[in-house]
Amino acid sequence: MAGRLEGRRAIVTGGAAGIGRAIAERYAREGARVLVADIDGEAARRVAASIDAEAERVDVTAAAEIEALVEHAVDAFGGLDVMVNNAGIGVAATAPETSEDDWQRVLDVCLKGTFLGMKYAIPAIREAGGGSVINMSSVAALVGVKDRAAYCAAKGGVLALTRAAAIDHVGEGVRINCIAPGTVDTPWIERITGGYDDPAQARRDMESRQPHGRFVTPEEIAAMAVYLASDEAGSVIGGVMVVDGGMTAR
């Protein structure tokens, strides 16, 4: 039986770990040709080798690197149908505690990286006759999350940018949506909790704030990313797809 993404050509940024890796692996299983892009080039190559995909080291904050990344996909696959702007970082801090450097870094990777991904991928997807852009926002765009000032701002920006672009490109067959994950069990959680005095307690606190009592899995986010990339989501445009274990429902 053909996969749900048979023949689709996709780039996944931040594809070497966590959510991005789960998306790249699931896309490959669904029949897509995948380019795994990550600032950790070695890890990207390892993931790509395990799923028979392409890999490239890329910093999503560098315009020339994103432009070259899209060219790589078009050259290797003959076109581009799906762009997943997933790469992101966070810092655990309130606004007064956030340094200007941290603010800039979080905004650059999460928001500018998403902007650049759309800037270069949308023309290629249009050229291919249409397709799907999937941006990784967060529940932090929808509700205030404690100690995440810069991150909430960046992910709110990703949501607003998604909606703006969705309207701009709806007439060209390019559907643009974002996903708002709750707390997903990835290497990211270890880094965030590592900044607290008691990392194990911080991890338990993050898990217990989920109404369904557990972390969301990367595979559950990948399932949404498959849906958004597929023709089944033909009327899903400018959407914010919440996958959060009920976190924003209360």
Ligand X SMILES: NC(=O)c1ccc[n+]([C@@H]2O[C@H](COP(=O)([O-])OP(=O)(O)OC[C@H]3O[C@@H](n4cnc5c(N)ncnc54)[C@H](O)[C@@H]3O)[C@@H](O)[C@H]2O)c1
58 binds ligand X (CB under 6 A): yes
73 binds ligand X (CB under 6 A): no
The site string for ligand X over 93-132 (x = CB under 6 A, - otherwise) reads ----------------x-----------------------
Angle, in degrees to the nearest 10, between helices 218-229 and 18-29: 50
Angle, alpha carbons 138-142-143 (nearest 5°): 105
53, 88, 98, 240: which one binds ligand X (CB under 6 A): 88
Q: SS3 for 186?
A: coil
Which residues are CB-neighbours of 233 under 8 A, at least 6 positions away? Answer: 132, 175, 177, 227
Specify whether the CB–CB gap between 36 and 58 falls below 8 A. no
Per CB under 6 A, the segment of 81-89, 96-104, 124-132, 166-174 that binds ligand X is 81-89
DSSP conformational letter for 215: P
Task: State yes or no: is 151 an active-site residue.
Answer: yes
Specify whether the CB–CB gap between 114 and 107 falls below 8 A. no
The site string for ligand X over 125-164 (x = CB under 6 A, - otherwise) reads -----------x-x--------------------------
Q: How far is the CB of 3 from ligand X (least distance, A)?
A: 23
d(CA 226, CA 80): 16
What residue ranges in the chain does DSSP mark as E strands?
Answer: 9-13, 33-38, 54-57, 82-85, 131-136, 174-181, 240-243
239 binds ligand X (CB under 6 A): no
Q: Which of 27, 151, 196, 227 is catalytic?
A: 151
33, 56, 61, 69: which one binds ligand X (CB under 6 A): 61
36, 174, 184, 247: which one binds ligand X (CB under 6 A): 184
Q: Given the structure tokens 């997933």, which residue do they identify? A: 86
What residue ranges in 60-219 does DSSP mark as E strands?
Answer: 82-85, 131-136, 174-181
Per CB under 6 A, the segment of 72-80, 120-128, 184-192, 234-242 that binds ligand X is 184-192
Q: How far is the CB of 1 from ligand X (least distance, A)?
A: 29
40 binds ligand X (CB under 6 A): yes
Q: SS3 for 20?
A: helix
| Residue type (1 letter), 119 | K
Residues marked active site are found at 151
Residues that bind ligand X (CB under 6 A): 13-14, 16-20, 38-40, 58-61, 86-90, 109, 136, 138, 181, 183-184, 186-188
